[in-house]
Amino acid sequence: MSGLSKSVLYDFCLRMGDNTLILGHRVSEWCGHAPVLEEDIALANTALDLIGQTQFWLGLAADVQGEGKSADDLAFLRDAWDFRNGLLCELPNGDFGQTLMRQYLFDEWHWAMLTALQNSSEKRVSDIADKAVKEASYHLERSRDTVIGLGDGTAESHDRMQAALDYLYPYVGEFFEADTVDEAAAKEGIAPVLESLREGYDAAIKATMDAATLRLPDSRFAHKGGRNGRMHTEHLGHLLTNMQWLQRAYPGASW
Amino acid sequence: MTQPSPLEVMRWLDQVPDPEIPAISLVDLGIIRHVEWAGDALEVTVTPTYSGCPATSIINFEIEKALRDNGVEKVSLKRQISPPWTTDWLSEKGREKLEAYGIAPPQPAGGPAQCPRCQSSDLEKLSQFGSTPCKAQWRCKSCLEPFDYFKCI
């Protein structure tokens, strides 16, 4: 593999793995705090799947990098500016409705992306996608149902879901805007052309929001800067102080 | 010692209970994908059920222990994620044991066929997720007992 291909594959895996790591950590923050026991278990299970997928993606990134690092090294020994997750993933949980809306907006993209990655020219990528897409489709089924249930629920739950959608929707566009890494990955057949996923995504979330009696914002304005690391939100740094606390307080600790 | 055949090794591993659902064995669960000798080392290929299944490291430990207890000195465990694990790989014996244990086995229709306790088919879903990543929670509307359903993936 050429140096350029290696660097594209490394960046691509970081983006996939940082999405699942940061969102997985966020969702795990609910553990023990969800409104009912069943939802607590559902959130913890979702977080577990995402963190399991992270081990595959960051493990592959570390292999490709070839510096003897592990998935754990990449998760715990990088600082905010080295993370490549979409901004959506790092946004705070807010209330339960906001958490589920964030999950749904991510799951719909994640499922489409993983489905496309099953045809990746890179076997190690398609292997991970084959595994992860099964979990993602299960997440999607639940987050879609919950968004519809809460949107088309009481006046209170409807208003909260509409507020969550208004807040989160501007963070969706980042997942579809390609930069040089995405273009190179698409050219090599590692990943799909990002924009090609947008039409299906838009149709899916429109159908869900209609069923949920929620209104999609008109503006396509998109906050960006997470996937290329140029500018994360202030929330990522706070998340990392928690997630990386052990390695920061006791560098090199292991058991 | 003479090298035991892969079939013999599978019989040993069929005695190793799944750490989270001890009613069935690792072989019943369908996660032991391949056993072969590579020189003097025994290679066992294992696939995870769910990406983040926390039992993975315990399972690897249990496999190594079972093989060492049977006199195998060099064990090499390989992780394989493709093709991904599917509940189609559960053994018929495993499905029966699950049901007897109180866990409804997976069905292609996506929900349990009957209550594992009273065999009623009047059921409702409580939650898509359960006490482990591989299960969901259902309830029987006839006997009113909640029960685990092994998700079909």
> Chain-wide mean pLDDT for chain B?
94
A35 touches chain B (CB under 8 A): no
Number of domains in chain A: 1
Contact criterion met (CB < 8 Å) for B52 and A128: no
Residue A254 inside a domain? The answer is no
When pLDDT is cut at 50, 70 and 90, the band that residue A51 belongs to is very high
| CB proximity under 8 Å: B 5-34 to A | none
What pLDDT score does B53 carry?
A: 84
Is A255 within the bounds of a domain? no
Chain A interface, best mutation among B129, B132, B138, B148, by max A CB count within 10 A:
B129
Domain with A23, as residue range(s), is 3-249
Residue A142 reports pLDDT greater than 80? yes
ipTM of the complex: 0.89
- pLDDT at position B130 is 87
The distance of A35 to chain B (nearest Cα, Å) reads 14
CA distance A119 to B99: 37
Task: Please check whether residue B54 touches A, CB under 8 A.
Answer: yes
Is B33 exposed, middle or buried (CB count within 10 Å of its CB: 0-12, 13-18, 19+)? middle
Tell if the CB–CB gap between B129 and A41 is shorter than 8 Å: yes
**Best interface-test mutation with B: which of A46, A115, A131 has the largest number of B CBs within 10 A?**
A131
**Mean pLDDT, chain A, integer:** 96
- Residue B136: predicted pLDDT: 93
CB A175 within 8 A of CB A194: yes
Give me the count of residues in chain B: 153
Q: Any idea what the CATH number is for the domain that residue A228 is in?
A: 1.20.1260.10
Residue A223 in any domain: the answer is yes
In this structure, is residue A47 part of a structural domain? yes
> Given an 8 Å threshold on Cβ–Cβ distance, is A131 in contact with B84?
yes
Q: How far apart are CA B153 and CA B144, in angstroms?
A: 26
Q: What is the pLDDT of residue A1?
A: 73
> How many angstroms separate the Cα of A53 from the Cα of each of A135, A142, A153, B4, B106?
9, 18, 33, 35, 23
In a domain, residue A218? The reply is yes
- Quote the CA–CA distance of A113 and A20 in Å, as a whole number: 13
pLDDT bin (cut points 50, 70, 90) of residue A12 is very high
CA distance B136 to B149: 5
Selected residues 46-65 of chain A with any CB under 8 Å from a CB in chain B: 46, 48-53, 55-56
CA gap B129, A159 in Å, rounded: 27
Chain B, 57 to 86: residues with Cβ < 8 Å from chain A are 81-85
Report the gap between the CA of B111 and the closest CA in chain A (Å). 13
How high is the pLDDT of residue B1?
A: 64
| Distance between A59 CA and the closest CA of chain B, angstroms | 13
Rounded Cα gap, residues A21 and A57, in angstroms: 10
pLDDT of residue B71: 94
pLDDT tens, residue by residue, A57-101? 999 999 999 999 999 999 999 999 999 999 999 999 999 999 999
| Closest C-alpha among A169, A159, A182 to residue A222 | A169
Q: Report, as an integer, the average pLDDT of B30-57.
A: 93
> Does residue A126 lie in a domain region?
yes
pLDDT digits (tens, 9 = 90+) for A181-233: 999 999 999 999 999 999 999 999 999 999 999 999 999 999 999 999 999 99
Nearest to A141 by CA among A183, A110, A97: A110
DSSP letter, residue A172: T
Q: Does some domain include residue A225? A: yes
CB B33 within 8 A of CB B86: no
| pLDDT, average across residues B93-120 | 95
DSSP single-letter state for residue A95: S
Closest-CA distance of chain A to residue B114, Å? 21
Note the pLDDT of residue B56: 87
For residue B52, what are the CA distances in angstroms to A51, A74, A178, B49, B92? 6, 17, 29, 9, 26
Q: Convert the pLDDT of each residue in A115-141 to its tens digit.
A: 999 999 999 999 999 999 999 999 999
Q: Please, which pLDDT band fits residue A148 given cuts at 50, 70 and 90?
A: very high
Please check whether residue A234 lies inside any domain of the structure. yes
What is chain B's percent helix, strand, coil content, to nearest 5?
25, 25, 50
